[in-house]
A and B are shown apart, each in its own frame.
Chain A
Amino acid sequence: MKPKEELTKGIAKNNPVFVLLLGLCPFLAVSVSVINGIGMGIAALFVLLGSNLIISLIRNFIPERIRIPCYIVIIATFVTIVELTMKAYLPTLAQALGIYVPLIVVNCMVLGRAEAFASKNNLFSSFLDAIGMGIGFTLALLVISAIREILGNGTFLGLKIFSEFEPAIVFALPPGALLVIGLLLAFLNRKRGK
């Protein structure tokens, strides 16, 4: 596959969220506001990048039978780095994301890329794959959290955008996340069907 395709496949064709349905748990929980969404997206991007690079580097040394525990340790290391950095420099964001930061470790997207891609491809391809998938995940988060924040709170990035608007609070509550992703998936299905 060409380098450009490695990079772009995660953004549209194989978007981890909308097409592969991976990594939904943190995805839905933190998408209440755009700031949280971007924070989680960048955290996941960093973890994905780090784990893909390391796994791709040592892929020939990991014994076949214990590869999954090895991947998990590598991923958990990067998650811990993110956790500590976020607590030190962005305490409010760390507070808002709560237990969903340590839970990046069981995000199926990260482990899925490690198993399906980084363990079979060279460093450069794995790097592009991680960047593409991470950006795809962040963009998906941006879309959903923007919809939820605008409809549920009447704001975007904390700025008020309507002068007279009664927000539909349900979008800021858990059902809103499920509703928005359900409708978005249906919309994408319809577009693809044509």
Chain B
Amino acid sequence: MEIEYLLRIFISSVFVNNVILSRFLGLCSFIAISKEIKPAVAMSFAVLFVITMSSLITWGIFRFLLAPFHIEYLRTISFILVIATFVQLVEMVIRKFAPALYRFFGIYLPLITVNCAVLGVAVLNSEMFFQNGKPISGSFVYSLFQGICVGLGYLVAMVLMSSIRHRLELADVPKAFQGPAIGFIIAAILSMAFLGFSGFRI
């Protein structure tokens, strides 16, 4: 395990391969929930939490169940089931023990099950940090860290987008572009700005 590699994961998943603007994961929620800043931030924190935890759990599943028995082809089914169950569990626990937090996350928690970013990171982890069914050294820390960083990347994109769209309320958008169309154009410009990061060589 090297610090340098961790730094590379951080820069890659927050900026260069930003989960939304360059990998297009979680795009549905990005367009739908980015109209106001507060819900966007709540959604992002819920996503950050779920991605982190699910990359932990799916690492365990892949390492101790799928890889030793050579049933990697069950990856999609097992990952999505575990994520769905986990989200349900979190929702119940938070509702019982932290009602304030539950109100903060609101309806966004159950929506995360079908957020492609969560499953995407789990699949990506199992492809990047395992070779021929064997974990590379430090793969657990890398998986966990990549989960956190992708969540942070989601937060960055979400905050940028919602701040811009917030101001857009007052702007005079041509009629044909109103609604999702202008959202995509803004996302395209943001994505172009993020392209600048791809010059990074570490």
* Residues in chain A within 8 A of chain B (CB atoms): 21-22, 24-26, 28-29, 68-69, 72-73, 76-77, 79-80, 83-84, 99, 102-103, 105-108, 111, 170, 173-179, 181-183, 185-187, 189-190, 193
Contacts and interface: CB of A to CB of B under 8 A. Distances in A.
A29 to B, nearest CB: 4
23 contacts: A21-B28, A24-B24, A69-B81, A73-B81, A76-B76, A83-B76, A99-B123, A102-B75, A105-B119, A111-B114, A173-B195, A174-B24, A175-B189, A175-B192, A182-B184, A185-B179, A185-B180, A186-B174, A186-B181, A189-B176, A189-B178, A189-B179, A190-B175
Nearest to A173: B195
B176 A182 contact: no
Contacts of B156: none
Contacts of B8: none
Interface of B: 21-28, 31, 73-77, 80-81, 84-85, 113-116, 119-120, 123-124, 127, 174-185, 187-189, 191-192, 195
B150 to A, nearest CB: 12
Contacts, number: 122
Tell me the interface secondary structure of chain A in the complex.
helix
A103 B189 contact: no
Contacts of B25: 25, 103
- In this complex, the member of A84, A99, A108, A176 whose beta carbon has the largest number of chain B beta carbons within 10 angstroms is A99
A49 B141 CA distance: 40
